[in-house]
Structure formats: structure tokens, C-alpha cells
């Protein structure tokens, strides 16, 4: 038998973040506690998504409802789990979820310094055919814990303290940046722990893939239509599109290329939401050496006016986004 190397020094996500935070002398462990509650939410969604098909067909033990009420939809359930986990962490102040029309202000007794913007279950139209979905989150710091206002979350993406996503795919992966670099953690289902598997992820400088809903092409502007053709005249990029932002962005991060949801004649602001879709993903891209552009400006410079605002977005490899910026500059 070939010798099997067993790693015995396990770098869990909690240990990793504790190490990072200990570099800041003022750190009191609050961020690590907050993150562990986000991780709990992700583990719950992972488990729920994995048995979604079964639960629907045969009704898993404990999930049959005696009143015969319809089972809660997974996105609603995931949202409740995240909201409760975040409030009970005692470290949050304002929560913005894609699922809730209004922001939630945490009661003073449970209040902490962090604001969390999130999409608990993105790409949920993919669940019924067992295709990957994800959770996306961003974290801001409140200005004054005693007087939280909506302005604390209507901040440009460049003010984020941290952002990440969890991909429920063929494996469950959490990708996180707390400001210095991007790291990836894979859930070990036996341990129930996310272990560091992708240290300091850098996006390839240039890629061969583009990812977009090409069915909208008839409504695109000329610059968007040109994105798949490299400037140097080499053959067009290959198309890959899952229709789950987390899966499409994760592939872009690891393999390089472009992910885009552009504005078009029908949707002048594209589709994706600024606070909990565009910002966290743009933040991760920049921290991994890529770029994120709206068609007009750096995505992280946007200042949202409302919590559910949308924006057009092009993000990915540094060189590829440079070419898109040049296309838009030339069209002006
Ligand atoms: P959702 O928040 O309603 O799930 O919509 C967001 C999803 C993203 O995951 C994905 O990038 C996009 O919608 C796909 O949209 P389309 O079906 O228009 O291509
Ligand atoms: Mg969404």
C-alpha cells in the first residue's frame, strides 16, 4: 500500500479567522463570533439543499407537518435560519436580506457593531433540478451602535469589512475575504467543519470563458455584444452559464474569464442586486486580483440609494475587464 498522508493540523475556518483577527490588537473576537454564526447558517442550508429532493418526495422524518400545512420553501426557511443565527450572535446591528423587503434593526439588548447584507439562497430556481445554489454575504461596521440608521448599510462596496459566499455544489465551499486576500474552505461532511483548502486565491490574469444569459442578446448594447471576442483577434471565449451567480462567479474566480449581467434595453439596471450580490462578489474579485465594472464605473464605488437596488455588472480576470472597460470607453 502506498503511504497515505493524513493531515493532522486542521486549519478550520474559525481558527483561520482567529489567526487573522489576532493581528489587530483592538480585536475582541467579535468578528470571529459573527462569522461562526454565518457558518452555522451555511451548514444548515447545505444540509437542507442536499435533502431537498427527498424531502419533497417522501417527507423526511420530522418535516411532516401535522396541520398539513405546506412545507416552507427552502429560501424562506434559509432566511429564517440566517436571521435568527445573526441576531443571536449578539454581534449584529442591521440585517439586509434579499428575502425581506425592509432592513431588520436588531433590538438594543442583542445589538453588536456589524451590519450584514446577504442573499440566503441565491439561484433558488435551480434547486428542483439539483443544480448548484449558494449564499452570498457582505459585512459592514455600523457608525454609531446606539444610533443605527439605514445609511449604515447604504455604503459603497469599498467600505465592506468582509465578504464571502458559500457554494452548495458537488462539494460545499465557503470563500471568504476579510480584507487581505481570498481564501477557500471546503466542508468536511464527517467533521462538519470548513477546512482551508484554497489558500490565497488569485484569479487568472486572463481567461477563456464568458458567462452571461445570452438569451438577452437581442437587447444588449454593442459593447456587451463584443465582450466574447478578444481584442487580439484570437478565437472567441467559451460560454459557460449555470444561472446561479455563486456557481458562475466561483468558476470565474478559479478558472478566470468574465461573468456578466449587463444592463440592456429591457433592464436598464441589469438584474443583480447591488448590496448582497454585486458588492460581495466585486469585493472578492478585487481582493483576488480581478476587477468589477458596471459599464460606467468601478462597481465598489457605487452608492446604493435603496437596499434592493440593482446594477449592471461585469466582473472577472483583470485583463478581460480592462478590455470591457475599453469597449465602453470607445462607445462614449
Ligand atoms: P435570484 O436571487 O432570484 O435567485 O436571482 C439571481 C440569479 C443569480 O444567481 C443568477 O446569476 C441570475 O439570477 C440568473 O438570471 P437569469 O435567469 O436572468 O439568467
Ligand atoms: Mg439572489
**41 vs 11, 35, 36, 84, 232, CA distance in Å?**
20, 10, 9, 9, 45
d(CA 22, CA 311): 36
Complex-level ipTM: 0.97
What confidence score (pLDDT) does residue 70 get?
54
The finding on whether 123 has its CB within 6 A of some atom of ligand 1 is yes
Of 298, 284, 218, the residue nearest 245 (C-alpha): 284
Mutate to test the pocket of ligand 1, among 125, 243, 252, 263 (most ligand atoms within 8 A of CB): 243
Closest residue to atom 19 of ligand 1, CA basis: 213
Atom of ligand 1 nearest to the CA of 247: 9
What confidence score (pLDDT) does residue 4 get?
60
Grid cell digits, residue 301: 464605488
What confidence score (pLDDT) does residue 59 get?
57
Of 141, 165, 167, the residue nearest 155 (C-alpha): 141
Closest residue to atom 12 of ligand 1, CA basis: 243
Atom of ligand 1 nearest to the CA of 125: 4
Cβ-based neighbour number of residue 87 at 10 Å? 18
Cβ atoms of residues 174 and 185 within 8 Å: yes
pTM for this predicted structure: 0.94
The finding on whether 219 has its CB within 6 A of some atom of ligand 1 is no
Predicted confidence pLDDT, tens digits, the chain (332 residues)? 555 667 789 999 999 999 988 887 777 889 999 999 999 999 999 999 998 877 765 555 555 554 555 566 889 999 999 999 999 999 999 999 999 999 999 999 999 999 999 999 999 889 888 899 999 999 999 999 999 999 999 999 999 999 999 999 999 999 999 999 999 999 999 999 999 999 999 999 999 999 999 999 999 999 999 999 999 999 999 999 999 999 999 999 999 999 999 999 999 999 999 999 999 999 999 999 999 999 999 999 999 999 999 999 999 999 999 999 999 999 98
The finding on whether 124 has its CB within 6 A of some atom of ligand 1 is yes
The finding on whether 243 has its CB within 6 A of some atom of ligand 1 is yes
Amino acid at each position: 500500500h502506498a503511504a497515505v498522508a493524513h493531515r493532522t493540523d486542521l486549519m478550520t475556518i474559525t481558527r483561520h479567522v482567529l489567526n487573522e483577527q489576532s493581528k489587530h490588537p483592538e480585536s475582541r473576537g467579535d468578528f470571529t463570533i459573527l462569522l461562526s454564526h454565518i457558518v452555522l447558517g451555511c451548514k444548515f442550508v447545505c444540509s437542507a439543499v442536499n435533502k431537498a429532493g427527498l424531502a419533497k418526495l417522501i417527507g423526511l422524518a420530522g418535516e411532516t407537518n401535522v396541520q398539513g400545512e405546506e412545507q416552507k420553501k427552502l429560501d424562506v426557511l434559509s432566511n429564517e435560519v440566517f436571521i435568527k443565527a445573526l441576531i443571536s450572535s449578539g454581534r449584529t446591528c442591521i440585517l439586509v436580506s434579499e428575502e425581506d423587503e425592509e432592513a431588520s434593526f436588531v433590538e438594543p439588548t442583542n445589538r453588536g457593531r456589524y451590519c450584514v447584507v446577504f442573499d440566503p439562497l441565491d439561484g433558488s430556481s435551480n434547486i428542483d433540478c439539483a443544480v448548484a445554489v449558494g449564499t452570498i454575504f457582505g459585512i459592514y461596521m455600523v457608525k454609531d451602535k446606539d444610533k443605527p440608521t439605514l445609511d449604515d448599510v447604504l455604503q459603497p462596496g469599498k467600505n465592506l469589512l468582509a465578504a464571502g459566499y458559500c457554494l452548495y455544489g458537488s462539494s460545499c465551499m465557503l470563500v471568504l475575504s476579510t480584507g487581505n486576500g481570498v481564501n477557500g474552505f471546503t466542508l468536511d461532511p464527517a467533521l462538519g467543519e470548513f477546512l482551508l483548502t484554497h489558500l490565497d486565491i488569485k484569479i487568472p490574469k486572463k481567461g477563456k470563458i464568458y458567462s452571461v444569459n445570452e438569451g438577452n442578446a437581442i437587447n444588449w448594447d454593442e459593447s456587451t455584444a463584443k465582450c466574447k471576442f478578444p481584442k487580439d483577434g484570437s478565437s472567441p471565449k467559451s460560454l459557460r452559464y449555470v444561472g446561479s451567480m455563486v456557481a458562475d462567479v466561483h468558476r470565474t474566480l478559479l478558472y478566470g474569464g468574465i461573468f456578466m449581467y449587463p444592463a440592456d434595453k429591457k433592464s436598464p439596471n441589469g438584474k443583480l442586486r447591488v448590496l448582497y450580490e454585486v458588492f460581495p462578489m466585486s469585493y472578492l474579485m478585487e481582493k483576488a486580483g480581478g476587477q468589477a465594472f458596471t459599464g460606467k464605473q468601478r462597481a465598489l464605488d457605487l452608492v446604493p440609494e435603496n437596499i434592493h437596488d440593482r446594477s449592471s455588472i461585469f466582473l472577472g480576470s483583470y485583463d478581460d475587464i480592462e478590455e470591457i472597460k475599453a469597449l465602453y470607453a470607445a462607445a462614449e
